Structure 1
Amino acid sequence: MTTDPGHLLTVDQLRVSFPGKGWRAARTEVLKGIDLHIRVGETLGLVGESGSGKTTIGRAILGLVPVASGTITFDGRPIENAGRAERRALSREIQVIFQDPYTSLNPSRTIGDTLSEPLLAQRVKASTARDRVTALLDQVHLPKDSAGRLPREFSGGQRQRVAIARALALSPRLIVCDEPVSALDLTTQATVLDLLLDIQQQTDVAYLFVSHDLSVVRRMSHRVAVIHHGDIVETGDAATLTSRPQHPYTRTLLLSAPVADVDRQRRRREQRSALTPS
């Protein structure tokens, strides 16, 4: 894949492998030559089942897993082998929202301390950090007195708003959203997704939105990439791909999404069974 100057992030022939079980076991290749790109202000939805490799792509971009081969280019510079100091600098531009709002926040730190931590790590003045925390709480629609409270005083949806605020603290250009609503109930999911869409409209931040749910990805994304067993099997415009998928695996994912109508759900289950190899 040739790097396009209009691409904020380009992943080219990315391969990641993990050690096998047992000291003589062969390594397991988790990503098998992944190509994808994200433009400024764009959301790329990355969808697949558990074990497909979708989370590993996000972790490779964040420098949390070693890259066996291939390149990851951010704003024109390669980052797949970035060292600790470069990663610290990159944290101003690339951030992450993790799946579980209950474990992603330190239970012993106040919300204010959690939100100011990345700012102070970048040597922002304490008074400036306090002002920024107030602005962040307002941006994610939490009351100002949240800064002095602990995570246990908040619901799951509120905690995920805190996690979003933390990701926004340094005004990043790209956020890796790793299943950010899968641990929430449906009503709270909708509220958090709307918040993420509003933030993108306000800030022009780009998202890599990782999910197993095609309906969520369709709502959030401009484009969608479907991953299966470490390979991208289909990529395209979100509306087109989620309504007229071409690859059998994508069609199976679409038919797996639950619907409220019992008869329609039964027909979808029958169609899914016909597509799934015995």
Structure 2
Amino acid sequence: MTDPLLELDDVVVEYPAKSRGRKPFRVLQGVSLSIAPGETLGLVGESGSGKTTLGRAVLGLAPVTSGEIRYAGTPVSRLGKRERRALSKDIQVVFQDPYTSLNPAMTVMDILTEPLLVAGVARAEAQGRVQKLLDRVHLPHDAADRLPREFSGGQRQRIAIARALCRDPRLIVCDEPVSALDLTTQARVLDLFTEIQEATGVAYLFVTHDLSVVRHISHRVAVLYRGEIVETGDAAQITERPEHPYTKRLWLAAPVPDPKRQAQRRAERQKAATS
């Protein structure tokens, strides 16, 4: 059996209260999960469930109050800044909004070569890698000389994916990476994620509120509700035969293109909410 690439063991994340005398606000309440090399774990939950905080904790951007995060068997939840920078070679991120995560004053070439140059790669080699990355994410070669504002939302997200791939990571945290895109563009970007995974063996922690997206991209799914994992399992089981009432409500809330089916789902959701 393959050892996990990423493990979370009873992870708790708390933030200080805004006023004196009040208890800290607990966002994650003892979360445990794992991701194998080359696997996609879909982390699904509604707004406020704690899923983005979980992703930030993995990236070292949210403090871990208790519990442990391990990467390739090594504890990483309390690393210093230098050790965390070294780990960034292996763990990268793709954010929700590709435009705000890209420097609007830099060309695509500058954006993509920057992490390579910081890592000590020679400029000529870095530029050669960038051209290969643009091919991998299906952007034209002349994209390298253009600014982010010259691209559509889907193309900007491809640039963000290329940046995440620059240093050949083993794990990418994907924080709602398609939620800002229209449905057709969503499908193309999801297919790109799958294509890249098949070619490179990278693992994904794929954070989303949409079970239909999770079904498209994930091998396994974990459902987060108020900071706790309430259901985990294979993607087909969670999205087709959910057991927990919260997971069922999430599935009923997912939009479908058929108006009659959508109306039926709305009625079923209202019935579930009052039962």
TM-score, scaled to structure 2: 0.98
Match of 1:12 in 2: 9
Which amino acid counterpart does residue 92 of structure 2 have in structure 1? Q
What displacement does 1:262 show? 1.9
- Partner SS for 1:25: coil
Q: Distance in 1 between matches of 2:125 and 2:139?
A: 19
Match of 1:204 in 2: 201
> Aligned runs of 1:3-82 on 2, under 5 Å?
6-82=3-79
What amino acid does structure 2 have at the position aligned with 1:103? T
Shift of 1:121: 1.1
Q: Residue deviations 1:60-96, cap 9 Å, x none? A: 0000011100000000100000111111111110000
**Distance in 2 separating the partners of 1:164 and 1:52:** 25
Letter in 2 for 1:145: D
Measure, in 2, the Cα distance between the counterparts of 1:166 and 1:87: 18
Residue identity in the other structure for 2:98: P
1: CA distance between counterparts of 2:103 and 2:21?
38
Q: Runs of 5+ in structure 1 lacking a partner?
A: none
Q: 2:2 and 2:99 mapped to 1: Cα distance?
A: 39
Contact preservation (8 Å) 2:2, 2:36: no
Contact in 1 for aligned 2:16/2:24 (Cα 8 Å): yes
- Which residue does the alignment assign to 2:110? 113
Aligned residue type for 1:233: V
Give the secondary structure class of the aligned counterpart of 2:5: strand
User: Identity of aligned pairs, percent?
Assistant: 63
1:143 — aligned with what? 140
1:126 is aligned to 123
**Kept in 1: contact 2:249–2:269 (CA 8 A):** yes
| CA-CA distance at 1:265 after TM superposition | 1.4
For 1:83, the equivalent position in structure 2 comes to 80
Which string of whole-angstrom CA distances, capped at 9 and with x for unpartnered residues, describes residues 152-179 of structure 1? Answer: 1111110000000000000000000000
Distance 1:185 1:46 in 2: 21
Per-residue deviation, residues 87-127 of structure 1 (Å, max 9, x unmatched): 11111100000000121100001100100111111111111
Q: Are residues 1:225 and 2:222 paired?
A: yes
Across the aligned residues of Structure 1 and Structure 2, the Cα RMSD in angstroms comes to: 1.1
- TM-score computed with the length of structure 1 as normaliser: 0.97
* AA partner of residue 176 (structure 1): V
Contact 1:119 1:170 in 2 (8 A): yes
Ranges of 4+ aligned residues in structure 1 off by more than 3 Å:
none
Query: Which of 83, 92, 95 does residue 98 from structure 1 map onto?
Result: 95
How big is the shift at 1:273? 1.3
Tell me, which stretches of 5 or more residues in structure 2 are unaligned?
none
Instruction: Give the SS at the match of 2:97.
Output: coil
